[in-house]
Amino acid sequence: MIISIQAQFGVTCQCAQRCDNRSAVAAGDPFELVGDGELGVVCVHGFTGTPYEMRFLGDQLGRAGFTVHGLRLPGHGTRLSDLDLTTWTDWAAAVEDAFDTMRMLCGRVAIVGQSLGGLLALHLASQRPEVAAVASLAAPIWLDGLGGRVAKWAASGALKLATLPKLRGSDVRDRSVRDANPSYDKIPVRALGELAKFMMVAEAALPQITQPVLVLHAKRDHTAPVACATRIAERTRAVRVRILERSYHLISTDVERDIVAAEVIQFLRRHAMAKPSRPIGDLACAT
């Protein structure tokens, strides 16, 4: 298993045991953690972000015995101009490639995604019934207010600016995480238009999902309206929904990250390790 995951994903740490050596991987780099091979988990970060957003959760999944890969989406974690050259189909293809690679290593594979990563996870599940389960963390299927209008203008080509500033940085309450997060400090307008297009594509695909779905979202999310969680849960017949009280958008790494990790681990153990019996319309909701 160790040789296989190094060959497939390029693990930087050569430890003979499951690796939780954070210094072996730079903050924004992809990461890989070796588990027992029964269940693999692909972790997908958000728009303009990096695998840093998923690293804490990935570490907890690794300690729980899962094999984990945190990929870096095309155009992310390099140069802003690289992101402006990508399309939503590039992001979706990268997640599917990571899923197929993980399937060569593990008997079953689940996808966990934050924000855009959650949309990509849901979209892949709608196309690939082999996905064992999906955890959607703060996924946006629309944007409210000025952000929503700007995204629509970007998608239509009406917005002539090349980039937009992130006026308040990452939408995360934990200041230390916000300071350490190596995400882009600007948003390429063309790429924002691709996000707007993909939100519509992903929403239309939600009813096609038959796998178990976990939906986590924060009440104080300033990026993705919390009502998105309800829409996703209803259209996918999610097995569990939890709305967090204190976090902002990046719930995988924010002040309630321990709760998020515990929810995801419990969900995967219950629903991804073996085919669950799942009555239609079974929607559990917690706050």
- For 8-51, the pLDDT digits (tens) are 655 443 333 333 334 345 778 999 999 988 999 999 999 999 99
| Residue 285 DSSP one-character state | E
Neighbours of 266 (CB within 10 A): 13
pLDDT of residue 26: 78
More confident residue, 113 or 188: 113
CATH for 2-286? 3.40.50.1820
Give the C-alpha separation, 210 to 130, whole Å.
10
Q: Taking the domains of the chain in order of start, what are their residue ranges? A: 2-286
What DSSP string runs through 115-180? THHHHHHHHHHHH-TT---EEEES--SS--HHHHHHHHHHHHT----SEEE-TT-SS-S-HHHHHH
pTM of the full structure = 0.86
- For 85-138, the pLDDT digits (tens) are 999 999 999 999 999 999 999 989 999 999 999 999 999 999 999 999 999 999
